[in-house]
């Protein structure tokens, strides 16, 4: 598998687990070198780094950062340059997700959800842009179908992802023609590990998905890979949701 990433350097945020790890594996298998960002999943990030370097020496490095810290964007881009000498693709995957029903929303909820889902992608893109321009690179943002169709009880998250959709399209204009910017909007892929959705709600979600199943992290990774290497696509947000956004 190559598809245009051989020897390229990719920064994936939230790369240690779940969808982020699937994206990292897919892009590494295509020949890319990976900077694996993580916040708390030290063991998983180390395991992924070891796996990649065993397959191809010096092809991966892990880096810990809190994306809410103002210094994080510059630190991550600097690390990519120190370890690999270039940066070709930025994948803004890291996200925070939890309910914020009206009447219970606090300032901290706003700061955390907007910070991880919108502010961090913006400032990472801004910091990475000079390097991405050198190689005609790409940015892929992980949005959500609820950026267009809000999820009841998750108001701040939905607002943040709506902002990320707007950011994706806006950056496509701002950074053209050197950098392409696109997004992937997953539907139900992997249930939250903290059991936010009760079994009846999970059944309802699958029942209202035209393809009648959950998606897989690997299916999201395929879409990210496609957009990272598609030379004449920019400003698009691709729904990978089994058709659920058609139903909602």
Q: How far, in Å, CA of 15 to CA of 41, rounded?
A: 9
Question: For residues 17 and 43, is the Cβ–Cβ distance under 8 A?
Answer: no
Catalytic positions: 157
Q: Could you give all domains of the chain from N- to C-terminal order, each with its CATH number?
A: 9-247 (3.40.50.720)
What's 28-93 look like in SS3? HHCCCEEEEEECCCHHHHHHHHHHHHHHCCCCEEEEECCCCCCCHHHHHHHHHHHHHCCCCEEEEC
Q: How far, in Å, CA of 114 to CA of 66, rounded?
A: 14
> What is the model's pLDDT at position 3?
67
> What is the model's pLDDT at position 4?
82
Question: For residues 64 and 39, is the Cβ–Cβ distance under 8 A?
Answer: yes
> What is the model's pLDDT at position 198?
84
Query: Tell me, what DSSP letter sits at residue 188?
Result: S
How would you class 29 by CB atoms within 10 Å of its CB: exposed for 0-12, middle for 13-18, buried for 19 or more?
Answer: middle
Sheet of strand 180-186, all strands in order from the earlier edge strand to the far edge: 60-64, 33-38, 9-12, 89-92, 138-142, 180-186, 237-240
- pLDDT mean by block of 10 residues, the chain; 248 residues: 83 97 98 97 97 98 97 98 98 97 97 98 98 98 95 97 98 98 93 80 91 95 98 98 89
């Amino acid at each position: 598998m190559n598809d245009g990433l051989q020897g390229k350097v990719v920064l994936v945020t939230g790369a240690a687990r779940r969808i982020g790890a699937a994206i990292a594996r897919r892009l590494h298998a295509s020949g890319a070198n990976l900077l694996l960002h993580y916040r708390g999943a030290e063991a998983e990030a180390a395991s992924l780094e070891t796996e990649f370097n065993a397959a191809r020496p010096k092809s991966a490095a892990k880096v810990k950062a809190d994306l809410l810290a103002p210094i994080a964007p510059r630190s991550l881009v600097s690390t990519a340059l120190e370890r690999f000498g270039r940066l070709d693709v930025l994948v803004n995957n890291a996200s925070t997700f939890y309910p914020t029903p009206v009447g219970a929303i606090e300032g901290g909820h706003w700061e955390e959800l907007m910070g991880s889902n919108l502010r961090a992608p913006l400032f990472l893109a801004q910091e990475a842009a000079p390097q991405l321009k050198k190689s005609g690179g790409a940015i892929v943002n992980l949005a959500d179908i609820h950026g267009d169709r809000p999820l009841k009880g998750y108001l701040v998250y939905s607002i943040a992802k709506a902002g990320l959709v707007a950011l994706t399209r806006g950056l496509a204009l701002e950074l053209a023609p050197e950098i392409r910017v696109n997004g992937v909007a997953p539907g139900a892929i992997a249930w939250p590990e903290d059991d936010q959705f009760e079994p009846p709600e999970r059944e309802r979600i699958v029942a209202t998905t035209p393809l009648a199943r959950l998606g897989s992290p690997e299916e999201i990774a395929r879409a990210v890979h496609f957009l990272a290497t598609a030379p004449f696509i920019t400003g698009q947000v691709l729904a990978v949701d089994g058709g659920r956004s058609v139903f909602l």
